């Protein structure tokens, strides 16, 4: 077995289809050219690398709270995807419940782009997510987790932290923000994505200065609370990225096949409610044609 033949769920990717779903006029960033990734293009990449399911994360760039492209993809490829939506903090429970019924497993918060106050003002939303069995996904950067970590630990919702917490690479695992992330493991309600290396590593692929953070997170959270994601289609990447080399990189960082199985299959099925039914070659071909 290798990472290419093992069952996999990609727990961090996006879809951008501006021809069918134009970007918001007020978006801070408009993905273009090779950054555009339509549902059909994502399906082709997943089929090529044996990725059976994926968690679609509503992007701050392009769409933010406009979830039409995300929801359309969930409906067109029923069972292949689950979603993480972006919503306003004052969204009602009925609206959240409606999103859940359409395949949305949680809500994304992006203080890395929008500041920590957005999260600190979402106490009611975190409570609603907990009541509905949905997750709160948070992307921080640098030392933001030193501020948010104690607050997040008091919230009832299951927490998912993106991209290893995007630590400041030169400061090492002892930095306050990363240590605050490690302490969230004690809650038993938090998981972390081993992904997004290019967002904080100083070295090029294979991002060896990011490995100590991944190993520290594995040690603190355990494979039962870790996830893997590609970050496809790689917005604002500092160098060219491809799906295959990212999979081989994950195999290098997590050489134990049982741990990879937990991270790439068992944990995401539990957290996000993937059915986990085998995708036959015929079904894959039909979905590709339908796209």
pLDDT tens for each residue of 133-175: 999 999 999 999 999 999 999 999 999 999 999 999 889 999 9
What is the structure's pLDDT at 275? 79
Strands (E), 28-80: 53-57
What is the structure's pLDDT at 33? 95
Domains and CATH numbers, the chain: 9-290 (3.20.20.140)
Residue 241 corresponds to which tokens in the numbers above?
């990225």
What is the structure's pLDDT at 283? 37
- All residues at 6 or more sequence positions from 117 whose CB lies less than 8 Å from its CB, including other chains: none
For residue 51, which of 20, 13, 24, 105 has the smallest C-alpha distance? 13
The two beta strands, 190-194 and 226-228, are: parallel
Answer whether 271's CB lies under 8 Å from 263's CB.
no
Which residues in the chain land under pLDDT 50? Answer: 276-291
What is the structure's pLDDT at 285? 37
What is the structure's pLDDT at 78? 85
CA gap 152, 168 in Å, rounded: 20
56 beta partners: 13, 83
Look at phi and psi of residue 273 and say left if phi exceeds 0, alpha if psi is from -120 to 50, else beta. left
194 beta partners: 228
CA gap 141, 155 in Å, rounded: 20
Q: Dihedral sign for Cα 225, 215, 53, 27, please.
A: positive
What is the structure's pLDDT at 137? 98
What is the structure's pLDDT at 229? 98
CA gap 185, 225 in Å, rounded: 8
**CA-to-CA dists, residue 279 to 74, 83, 250, 251, 276, angstroms:** 16, 19, 23, 23, 9
Question: Rounded to 10 degrees, what is the CA torsion of 43, 196, 152, 107?
Answer: -20
Residue 66 corresponds to which tokens in the numbers above?
């406009």
What is the structure's pLDDT at 1? 78
Gyration radius from the chain CA atoms:
18
């Amino acid at each position: 077995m290798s990472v290419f033949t093992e069952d996999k769920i990609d727990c961090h990717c996006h879809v951008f289809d501006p021809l069918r779903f134009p970007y918001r006029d007020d978006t801070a960033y408009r993905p273009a050219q090779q950054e555009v990734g339509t549902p059909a293009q994502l399906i082709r990449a997943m089929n090529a690398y044996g990725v059976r399911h994926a968690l679609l994360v509503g992007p701050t760039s392009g769409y933010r709270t406009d979830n039409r492209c995300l929801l359309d993809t969930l409906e067109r490829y029923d069972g292949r995807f689950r979603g993480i939506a972006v919503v306003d903090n004052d969204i009602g429970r009925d609206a959240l419940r409606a999103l859940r019924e359409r395949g949305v497993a949680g809500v994304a918060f992006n203080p890395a782009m929008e500041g920590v106050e957005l999260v600190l003002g979402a106490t009611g939303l975190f409570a609603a997510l907990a009541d509905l069995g949905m997750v709160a996904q948070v992307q921080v950067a640098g030392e933001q987790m030193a501020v948010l970590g104690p607050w997040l630990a008091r919230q009832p919702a299951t927490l998912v932290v993106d991209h290893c917490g995007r630590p400041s690479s030169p400061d090492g695992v002892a930095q306050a923000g990363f240590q605050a992330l490690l302490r969230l493991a004690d809650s038993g309600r938090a998981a972390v994505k081993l992904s997004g290396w290019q967002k904080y590593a100083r070295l090029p692929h294979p991002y060896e200065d990011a490995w100590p953070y991944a190993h520290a997170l594995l040690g603190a959270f355990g494979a039962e609370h870790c996830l893997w994601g590609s970050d496809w289609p790689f917005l604002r990447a500092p160098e060219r990225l491809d799906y295959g080399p990212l999979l081989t990189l994950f195999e290098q960082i997590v050489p134990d096949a049982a741990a990879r199985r937990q991270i790439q299959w068992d944990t995401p099925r539990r957290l996000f409610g993937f059915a986990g039914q085998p995708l036959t070659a015929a079904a894959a071909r039909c979905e590709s044609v339908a796209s």
